[in-house]
Structure 1
Amino acid sequence: MAMRTSTERVALGDSGDGGDEPSDGRFRLAVAVYAGALLAGVVSVAAVLTAFVRGPLPAVYAAGFVGGFVGGLALAAADPRLPVRLGRTLGRRAAVVVPTVPFVVIWFAPLEAAVDVVALWAVITVFTSGYALSQLARNRYVDAVTTGEPAERWRWTPPGSPVVDALLAGMWLVIGIGDAVTGSPAQGLLWLSLAVFWMVSCLVEGRWSFGPGRDRCEVQLYETGLVKRYPYMKTYVSWRDINHARLREGELVLDRGLRDVRFDSDELEDSDKLLEAIDRQLAARKKR
C-alpha cells in the first residue's frame, strides 16, 4: 500500500493532532441552511400527509427550518474536521443530496396538490443547499491536503459549449414561464429552478467564457497531487492514485483505474510541457 505524505495523514485525520483547518463561517452556514431545509421539508410533508404535525403550513415550515438551522450550526461547530471528512470522497459528497430522493418519490406519487407543492419545494431547497455544501466540503478537503503554494501552475480552460449551455437554460426558462402562465405553477417553478441552477453551475465551473473568477482556472501541481481549479471549486487527484500519464489522440490522460483524468490538448496552454511536469512529480514521489 502506498505511503501517505504527512499532509495527507493530517487531512484524513490519521495524525490525531487536530491539525486540519476548522470549518469556517461559510461552511457552517451551508451546513445550517442544508439542515434547516431538510428538517423543514420533513415536517412540512408530515404536516400535510398526517395530523401528527399541526399548525399553519408556513409556521410549520419556519419552525422546522429554524430547528434544523440551529442544529446544523451546532454540528458544524462541534466537529472541526467535518469539512475534510465530508469532502474526502465522492460517496460522502453524493450522500448529502440523497435525502432529496424521498421527496422526489412523494412528488411523483398520486397525492393531493398541496403535498406536491411542499415536496417539490423540498426537492429544490434540499438539493440546492446539499450541492453547495458538497462543493464547499470538497474545496476544504483540497485545501487541507495541498498546503502552501503549488510547485507549478498551468493555464487551463474548462471544457464546455457556451452556446449549448445557453440554449438549454433558455429552453428551460421558456418552459417554466409557459407552465406558470398556463396554470401549472409547480411545474413552472421546477423548470425555472433548473434553468437558474444550470446557469449558476456554468459560472461556478467556468464553462462560460465570462463571469468573475474565470481567470483563476488552472492546473496546479503540489507535492501531494494535482488540483484542477475552477472559478469557485476545486478537484484533487493524489499522485499515489495515478498509475501513468500519457498523451493519446489529442488528450492528456492520467490513468487512475475507472476514473481517468483527461484534458483535451486545446484546453491547456502546453500539454507536452504539462505532461513533463507531471512525470517529474510522479518520479519524485517514487523516490520519496
Structure 2
Amino acid sequence: MTPREKLSLLNYEPPDLGFQVGLSSYLGIVISGLVASFGVAVDVATPTLLGIVPTVFTIVTVHGVVLAKRFSGVAERIGASRWLTLACFSPIVTHGAVLLADVLGALEVPSRLFVTSGVALVFTGVAAAALASMAGNRFVDAVTREDPETTWTWHSSRRWGTENGALVVGLSFVAMAIVLGFASRNWGGGLFWAFMGLFWLLPFLSDDDTWYADADRTSHLPDLRAHDVGIVTDRPQSRRLIPWDDVEDVRLTEDELILERRFLDVRCDRAEIDDPEAVLEGIERARARGTGRPPAPATVDERENGDDLRSRKRSLETS
C-alpha cells in the first residue's frame, strides 16, 4: 500500500491549532509582502505603508485561523503532494524576479523597492519552509500511526556527513550574500551578512565540544523507523518518508546497512547498530507488509565485500 492509498482511507480531522496558526501566518506574510512591494512600486509614502502592511497581516492572519478549521485534511494533502509543497514557495518568484532584474541590469529598480522585495522574499521563504515542514510532518504522522517494525539511529557511513553538508550549504549562502551585496552596490550589507554567516558556521569548523556545552554530540542524529508505507527519517523538528517504491534493494554488508534508492542511497554504519541482523529482518517484514511481497532472506551481501570476506570464512571453517 502506497502512502497516498493509505492516506485516502483515513478519516480527516480539522487541522490542529499549530497548523492553523502556521497556515494563516503564511498567508498573512505572503499577502502583506505583496501589498508592501506593490505600495513601494507605486510610490506610496513610507508612513502610510507602515500603517497598511501590519493591518493587512493582522486581518489575514486572524481570518485565516478561523477559515483553516473548515479545511479538514489540508495539512496531510499538502504534505503528500510534491506539487502542493512546491506551490507554497511560488510567491517568492515575484520578489525574486525584482531582485534578479536589478542584479542583471535588465531593470533599474529603486533602492526602496529592492530592499522591500528582499525582505519580503526572506520572510516569505521562511514562512513557506515552515509551512511545508509542518505539512510534511503531519502527513508522515497520519500514515505511520502504528508502531514501527524496527527503529535504529542513523549513523551515516558516508564520508561527508550531516555537519559537512550543512557547512557546504552555509558557505554557499555566505557566497551568495557577498555576490548579491556587491551586485546591488550595497558593499556593507553584503560583508555584514557574510560575516554573520561565517560566525554561524564556526561550530561546524571546530572538533571540540565547547560549542555545544554539555550536549550529547549524537543527539542531532535522526532515527530511522520501518513502517508498512516506507522508512521514516525522524529528526527532532522534521519527519520525512521514503516510500517503498523508492527503495530498490535493502542489503547488509560487512560495514554497512544499505537502502538502495534511485539517486541517494541511505547508508548506515553497521558498527553503530546494536543488532543489525534484527534490524534488517524488521525492515524486510515492514517492506513485505507494504508491498505484498514475501520478505527477502536477511543475509549479508557477500558481493559487496569481495573475496576478502569469503577467504576469511574459508579460513574459519578450516581452523
Give, in whole Å, the separation in 2 of the partners of 1:188 and 1:35: 32
Cα deviation for residue 117 of structure 1 reads: 1.0
Q: Does residue 1:62 correspond to 2:54, yes or no?
A: yes
**Which of the numbers 234, 252, 259 marks the counterpart of 1:254?**
259
Conserved? CA contact 1:28–1:77, under 8 Å: yes
Aligned residues: 267
Answer with 1 or 2: which has the greater Rg. Answer: 2
Structure 1 unmatched ranges of 5 or more: 200-207
What's the counterpart of residue 44 of structure 1?
A: 36
Cα deviation for residue 102 of structure 1 reads: 1.5
Cα deviation for residue 41 of structure 1 reads: 0.9
CA displacement 1:238-269 (0-9 Å, x = unmatched): 3354332235796544345x445422426952
Letter in 2 for 1:102: T
CA displacement 1:166-208 (0-9 Å, x = unmatched): 9947x949x78xx7xx975654676588679989xxxxxxxx9
Q: Secondary structure at the match of 1:149?
A: coil
Q: TM-score, normalised by structure 1?
A: 0.74
* Distance change (3 Å), C-alpha of 1:255 and 1:89: farther
Conserved? CA contact 1:40–1:64, under 8 Å: yes
* Distance change (3 Å), C-alpha of 1:68 and 1:263: farther
Letter in 2 for 1:160: T
What's the counterpart of residue 203 of structure 1?
A: none
Give, in whole Å, the separation in 2 of the partners of 1:81 and 1:198: 38
Conserved? CA contact 1:10–1:19, under 8 Å: no
Conserved? CA contact 1:244–1:254, under 8 Å: yes
Q: Does residue 1:98 correspond to 2:90, yes or no?
A: yes
How much is the aligned-residue C-alpha RMSD, in angstroms? 4.1
Conserved? CA contact 1:251–1:265, under 8 Å: yes
**Which of the numbers 247, 269, 274 marks the counterpart of 2:273?**
269
Conserved? CA contact 1:219–1:229, under 8 Å: yes
Q: Secondary structure at the match of 1:127?
A: helix
Letter in 2 for 1:254: L
**Which of the numbers 223, 231, 235 marks the counterpart of 1:226?**
231
Q: Does residue 1:30 correspond to 2:22, yes or no?
A: yes
Conserved? CA contact 2:230–2:241, under 8 Å: yes
* Distance change (3 Å), C-alpha of 1:4 and 1:74: same
What's the counterpart of residue 160 of structure 1?
A: 162
Letter in 1 for 2:162: G
Letter in 1 for 2:273: E
Question: Within 5 A, what are the aligned runs for 1:1-288?
Answer: 3-4=1-2, 9=5, 11=7, 14-15=8-9, 19-50=11-42, 56-108=48-100, 109=102, 110-157=108-155, 159-161=161-163, 165=167, 168=170, 172=174, 187=190, 210=215, 214=219, 217-247=222-252, 252-256=257-261, 258-265=262-269, 269=273, 273-285=278-290, 286-287=292-293
Q: Secondary structure at the match of 2:162?
A: coil
Conserved? CA contact 1:255–1:261, under 8 Å: yes
Q: TM-score, normalised by structure 2?
A: 0.67
Give, in whole Å, the separation in 1 of the partners of 2:216 and 2:59: 36
CA displacement 1:115-138 (0-9 Å, x = unmatched): 011101101100001101101110
Cα deviation for residue 142 of structure 1 reads: 0.2
Give, in whole Å, the separation in 2 of the partners of 1:95 and 1:267: 41
Give, in whole Å, the separation in 2 of the partners of 1:118 and 1:187: 16
Moved more, 38-47 or 93-102: 93-102
Conserved? CA contact 1:35–1:69, under 8 Å: yes
CA displacement 1:73-115 (0-9 Å, x = unmatched): 2442221211100001333222211211220111232211100
Give, in whole Å, the separation in 2 of the partners of 1:81 and 1:61: 30
* Distance change (3 Å), C-alpha of 1:167 and 1:55: closer
Identity %: 21
Conserved? CA contact 1:157–1:218, under 8 Å: no
* Distance change (3 Å), C-alpha of 1:249 and 1:213: closer
